[in-house]
Amino acid sequence: MLGVKSSDDWINNFNIGNIMHLSPLNFDDLNRSSIDVRHEISRDQIILTILYCAAAFFCIGTEYRFLSNKEAKYDKKDSEMFHAKSLHLSATFLTKDCPMVEHI
C-alpha cells in the first residue's frame, strides 16, 4: 500500500463521483516546463493516477455490460474482465474501506 494508513486521509473520502466530474485541460495546464517532475512521482499523484486507471476500467466494464444487453456482438465476459481489473487495481493499492473500492 502507498502509505494510506490514516483514516482522515483524502483517499478515504474519495469516491467514483469525484472522478466522473472532470474539468477540461488546456495546453498551458499540460506544459511540462511549468510543472516540477517530482510532483508526478509524489504519493498523492501516484494514488490519483491509480484511481483514474481503476475508474477507467470500471467505466469500460460498465459500458460493455450495457452493450452486451443491447447487442449480441458484445460479450458480458468482457464487462466482467474490466470490472475485475478495476477491483484488482484498486484493492491492491488502496484500503478495503476506501469508498472507491467499496463502490467497485
Contact 52, 22 (CB under 8 A): no
Max Cα-Cα span within the chain: 49
Burial grade of 94 (CB within 10 A; 0-12, 13-18, 19 or more): buried
The size of the chain, in residues, is 104
Question: What pLDDT digit, counting tens, does each position of 38-95 carry?
Answer: 666 777 888 888 888 998 999 999 999 999 888 888 888 989 999 999 999 988 888 7
pTM above 0.95, yes or no: no
Question: What pLDDT digit, counting tens, does each position of 11-50 carry?
Answer: 777 777 777 776 777 777 667 655 666 666 777 888 888 8
Q: Write out 23-59 in H/E/C secondary structure.
A: CCCCHHHHCHHHCCHHHHCCHHHHHHHHHHHHHHHHH
